[in-house]
Amino acid sequence: MMTNVISIRVNKRLEELIKNLAVETQLDQSDALREVMNNGIVFIAIKGYAEGKYSVEKAAAMAGMPLSEFMDLTTSLGIRSKIDLDDVLAGSDNLKSQVGK
Amino acid sequence: MVTVVCEASIIILISKLDMLDTFIDVFGIITIPEAVRIEVVDKGKSTKKMDALLVEKRISDGKITVKKINDSTEKIKLQNDFNLHDGEAESIILYNEINANLLGTDDYRTIKTCRVQKVRYFSTPAFVYQSVISGHITKEIALLKLDKLSKIGWYKDEILEHFKKLIQNS
């Protein structure tokens, strides 16, 4: 896989955290940092979705995952949709009005 | 016939419940925009999701129709204004362009957008209930589907409990 170089400056605390993670995960520091970046992006997407900031498809795209996989991931983490009973009941009325009995 | 447009989250959830054929039985033909096909089928197949194969087969059988939207300017506006992605925005536009009766969604932000835009949406728990009312499935099957939906973990328990009671009392 083709890779690009991105240079970033980190403070002492972050450097220490990356070193600790590298030791803990038995990865070299570059791989540990890549792991942090990958998981960090997924975390930001999940958090935004859980707070109702992003739609589920937008959050999945941000995480770089197919929607179905992202839905499986959020539910496996115990995150429920922010949809309320009121929302579903209003939708139920819409459905009834069009489909009827 | 009722014209129904669906976005990806409800297609995936209904497929996970093994209710896609009931969905088609109730509505006749389901219409999805191209972006939803890409999300559910193309991207889903890349991770070997069963729901992707199921939906692909129903498309090739002509039970699910794929349509392209005309107004891409409105798509960008919807995405920017409501923080939606391609499939969700295209579903709302397609609903308006083909004068659909209903839009199926299980996404919170899409539902909120539908409420603002006065789009007649519905979601999975309501569909399960309506399937009982219309005689497409029995109460027992519906309750099993709601149990499965509970295990999937998408909806809050209070919502599923409410619909279980509705079904039991119907």
For chain A, the domain total comes to 1
State the nearest Cα–Cα gap between B31 and chain A, in angstroms.
Answer: 16
Domain that holds residue B156: 125-168
| Residue B60: CATH number of its domain | 3.40.50.1010
- The verdict on B162 and B111 lying in the same domain is no
Task: Determine whether the interchain pair B85/A53 forms a contact, defined as Cβ–Cβ distance below 8 Å.
Answer: no
- Give the separation between CA B94 and CA B92, rounded to whole angstroms: 6
Q: How many CB pairs under 8 A join A and B?
A: 142
Residue type, A11: N
Are residues B42 and B105 located together in one domain of the fold?
yes
Is the pLDDT score of A100 beyond 80? no
Other CB atoms within a 10 A radius of the CB of residue A75 amount to 17
**Inter-chain CB proximity B40 and A67 less than 8 Å:** yes
Q: Quick check: B34 and B67 in contact, CB under 8 A?
A: yes
- Chain-centroid distance of CA A80 in Å reads 13
B130 contact A CB<8A: yes
- Residues of A in CB contact (< 8 Å) with B are 52-58, 60-61, 66-69, 71, 75-76, 78, 80-85, 87-92, 94-99, 101
The complex scores an ipTM of: 0.93
- Supply the DSSP symbol for B70: S
DSSP string, A37-51: HHHHHHHHHHHHHHT
Task: Judge whether A21 lies within some domain.
Answer: yes
Model pLDDT for residues B19-55, shown as the tens digit of each residue? 999 999 999 989 999 999 999 999 999 888 888 999 9
pLDDT band at residue B6 using 50, 70 and 90 as cut-offs: very high
Cβ <8 Å between B86 and A55: no
| Residues above pLDDT 90, as percent of chain B | 92
My answer on whether B17 and B95 are in the same domain is yes
Q: Is B22 on the interface with A (CB under 8 A)?
A: no
The pLDDT value given to residue A1: 67
Number of domains in chain B: 2
Task: State residue B40's pLDDT score.
Answer: 95
Whether B72 and B139 map to the same domain: the answer is no
Instruction: Tell me the pLDDT tens digit for each residue of B113-129.
Output: 999 999 999 999 999 99
Could you read off the pLDDT of A12-58 as tens digits, one per residue? Answer: 999 999 999 999 999 999 999 999 999 999 999 999 999 999 999 99
Expressed as residue numbers, the domain containing A51 is: 12-99
Tokens of A53: 């900031």
**Shortest alpha-carbon distance between residue B168 and chain A (Å):** 16
Residues B59 and B137 in one domain: no
